[in-house]
Amino acid sequence: MRTPSYSASPPPFPATRLRRLRRTAWSRALVAESRLAPTDLVQPFFVLDGHGRREPVASLPGVERLSIDLLIPQVERCARLGIPMVALFPCTPAERKTLDGREAWNPENLVCRAIRTLVREVPEVGIMGDVALDPYTTTGQDGIVENGVILNDETIEALVRQALCLAEAGCQVVAPSDMMDGRVGAIRKALDAAGFGQTIILAYAAKYASAFYGPFREAVGSAAALGKADKKTYQMDPANALEALREVALDIAEGADMVMVKPGLPYLDVIARVKEAFQMPTLAYHVSGEYAMVKAAAERGWLDGPACMMECLLAFKRAGADAIVSYAALEVAEALARQR
Ligand code: PBG
């Protein structure tokens, strides 16, 4: 979206007819301003402990929690379709959750085992690991809680341990999704000091306190822990866009390699402004609730599911996103492969 450096006025109707270029499929393809390719997509997976286990997620039709052995063929599918990266979210057994979330930096935890396996089995696909304590805390909060307050600086120390643990397991992209102030800088410093100078930081820079995360929390099992509590003291207020630019500016200054806006579709204005303002690699997270809405309507025959999903993901590209994390990544990549 650049302002033209010249101005030219096309002649008025009837000499100008914008429908001329829309008349045929080939001319529409020729002048399309945005395109969606499998290389724009990131597929998230929910990882289960054990062997040979798969469980559907009720609120995310088409999404299953998978044990590591069953995850391998799915990540191989991503590789074949050209999806460059996957995101892993562990379903931590309840008995491993604590108030401080210490399982997050256990090198033998579920996500670290999954990372080691995938790096060995499907090395051509990048792995993005979430840095936040919510899969591991009994409170379901992303940070350490004391007297009802989510402690910022104490949480950063935990996040640094978690990020180092992920990097040691072979995770190439660590993605702090916790929204503590100052965590990107602390993680960069610790990674560099530990010899992980090549580990990429993808900052969930503008992450909103959104009700659209509902199905995700169900999928990883943090919903019950969280109960009626919310994350409004650290995730952003949906009313704010200028604050998102401040968040992104800080994360870039602290060393983020890529930034993310989350959720996606309700925040396309934020994506467009972030891309325009910073010209950084900018990702968008098409979150669980957004995916669930399309699937639910399609199940009722109210929407054409595949067409709507494709349109949603293309909208992210039009808004300026470089890549999109979406539960629909695999199915959309398959549809794109069929189109060619
Ligand atoms: C955890 C995390 C969340 C999501 C990604 N990482 C949930 C939350 O912040 O409560 C949401 C993803 C989705 O809804 O698809 N920090």
The CA 39 to ligand 1 mean position distance, Å, reads 23
pLDDT tens for 66-95 read 999 999 999 999 999 999 999 999 999 999
213 lines ligand 1 (CB under 6 A): yes
Note the pLDDT of residue 2: 63
Ligand 1 pocket mutation, candidates 287, 293, 295, criterion most atoms within 8 A of CB: 287
How confident is residue 190, by pLDDT bands cut at 50, 70 and 90?
very high
Give me the active site residues, please: 207, 262
Ligand 1 pocket mutation, candidates 43, 134, 155, 178, criterion most atoms within 8 A of CB: 134
217 lines ligand 1 (CB under 6 A): yes
Q: pTM for this one?
A: 0.96
Task: Give, for 311, the enclosing helix (H) or strand (E).
Answer: helix 305-319
DSSP secondary structure letters along 253-270: HTT-SEEEEES-GGGHHH
The CA 147 to ligand 1 mean position distance, Å, reads 23
318 lines ligand 1 (CB under 6 A): no
The CA 213 to ligand 1 mean position distance, Å, reads 6
Ligand 1 pocket mutation, candidates 45, 46, 177, criterion most atoms within 8 A of CB: 177
The ligand 1 atom nearest the CA atom of 212:
14
326 lines ligand 1 (CB under 6 A): no
Q: Enter the DSSP assignment of 236.
A: B
Q: Is residue 211 packed enough to be buried (19+ CB in 10 Å), middle (13-18) or exposed (0-12)?
A: exposed
The CA 122 to ligand 1 mean position distance, Å, reads 25
Whether the Cβ atoms of residue 162 and residue 189 lie closer than 8 Å to each other: no
| % the chain with pLDDT above 90 | 95
Which two structure tokens, joined as six digits, stand for 92? 């931590």
Note the pLDDT of residue 340: 78
pLDDT averaged over every residue in the chain: 97
Task: Give, for 243, the enclosing helix (H) or strand (E).
Answer: helix 242-253
How confident is residue 224, by pLDDT bands cut at 50, 70 and 90?
confident
The CA 269 to ligand 1 mean position distance, Å, reads 20
**Please, what sign has the CA dihedral across residues 167, 172, 178, 179?**
positive
59 lines ligand 1 (CB under 6 A): no
Phi first, then psi, for residue 119 (nearest 5°) are: -60, -35
Average pLDDT of 224-232? 93
Interacting residues of 269 by C-beta distance below 8 A, sequence separation 6+: 241, 319
pLDDT at 1 over 60: no
The CA 287 to ligand 1 mean position distance, Å, reads 8
254 lines ligand 1 (CB under 6 A): no
pLDDT at 141 over 80: yes
Average pLDDT of 165-190? 98
The ligand 1 atom nearest the CA atom of 142:
16
pLDDT at 181 over 80: yes
45 lines ligand 1 (CB under 6 A): no
pLDDT at 117 over 80: yes
E-only strand ranges, the chain: 41-48, 54-56, 64-67, 85-90, 126-131, 144-146, 149-151, 173-176, 200-207, 258-262, 282-286, 323-326
Note the pLDDT of residue 8: 84
